Amino acid sequence: MTFWIIAFLIALLATAPMVLVLRRARGSESDDAGNTAVELRVYKDQLAEVERDLSRGLLSEDAAKRARLEISRRMLDADTKSGDQTTKDAPAPLWAALALGAVVIAAGVWLYALEGAPSYPDLPLERRIALAQEARDNRPNQATLEQNVEVPQLDARGTELLDGLRDKLESSPDNLEQQQLMAMFAYQVEMFKDAYIAQERVIVLKGDEATSDDYAALAEMMILAAGGFSVSPEAERALTRSLARDPDNGASNYYAGLLFAQTGSPDKAFSIWNNLLKNSAPDDPWVPALRAQIEGIAQAAGIKYTLPPLASTLKGPTAEDIEAASDMDAGDRQEFIRSMVDQLSARLANSGGSPDEWARLISSLGVLGDTGRARAIWNEAQVIFGPDANALATVRAAAQSAGVAQ
């Protein structure tokens, strides 16, 4: 009721000036009024000129008298015409002004009732927090979310490879490498349910050695299987275990922020995402999605935020790396290169990567003379990129250069 009283008073204040204007008599002057004033000044100058001519003897008394009469007649006509052009409009009747004000107020109330939310209650902070927790507690589980997601159709080659991996896992479900290969291949071909089922088995087989990245990969696969936008309770549990092992895990922090954003806690989502963005490299995989959403989350949280410019994603060896490598002897330089190759291999094994990165790994192993590992990576790449002819061609060229493919 308080709202309607305040709204009515505001509407009344807004319409009062309009009613007062309608009740006031208004004068209107034609555009020719200014011209009349100029004309009168000219006639006065002419009268003065007649008097000067008379005093100098240029005009006779009779001629001067006739000139005065003619100029005076013209001045009288101009003044009469000016008076006729200035009128006064009568004020509007009181009832008409009040009726128009009432119509404006009624129209405003009708528009608000139609487009606004007159029955929407106030939401104190405590109530908003309770609603956010309720939304989080009552969100759909993984199986329910997956019901509305369309599973992609693989081509003949992709179906053959996936079925082959399934057959192998049926006979050897405890083979860790086969489960990892299944999770990675299913992820690449967007069969995310198969991917997270295999990843769950990977975590079981690893036991206490399961890493933060293992759980982060599981959560991501579940979220993608649910359509890519919803974090189910099952995915949240995987995120919790990932962050318990590594609170700075980038992927897990991104999806944790997404969970808060979806359950009515934009302030928490912004806090997580803002910290993550500050500590992420430009080429981290979650950065594009993070930059696309963080401004909207800041606005929803009532925070004034400006997205910082994206730093260059080009990367290469630093000056210190080059200087350090140039000072190494041949053996140390070989070990330095091998350590970089091992880092790339570990990242691709845990998180996957582009065909170019797989090709770079195979080429590097070939340069190091480690043809055994290069051949194993090539065999794995054939399974992962088999459905994509262009991607497989990129990796094949590197394998041929390393001497592990025909």
223 close to 261: Cβ distance less than 8 angstroms: no
352 close to 184: Cβ distance less than 8 angstroms: yes
Listing DSSP states for 29-80 in one string gives E-TTHHHHHHHHHHHHHHHHHHHHHHHTTSS-HHHHHHHHHHHHHHHHHHHH
262/132 Cα distance (integer angstroms): 9
Helix axes 61-85, 33-55, angle to 10 degrees: 170
pLDDT tens across 52-81, in order?
Answer: 877 887 778 888 888 888 888 888 887 776
Q: What is the pTM of this model?
A: 0.54
Give the 3-state secondary structure of residue 185: helix
pLDDT of residue 339: 74
360 close to 386: Cβ distance less than 8 angstroms: no
Q: Which of 114-118, 130-134, 201-205, 336-340 has the highest mean pLDDT?
A: 201-205
Helix axes 250-262, 212-225, angle to 10 degrees: 40
pLDDT tens across 170-225, in order?
Answer: 888 899 988 998 898 888 888 899 999 999 999 999 999 999 999 999 999 999 99
pLDDT at position 150 over 90: no
Tokens of 4: 């309607």
pLDDT average, residue stretch 265-272: 91
281/205 Cα distance (integer angstroms): 32
pLDDT of residue 315: 41
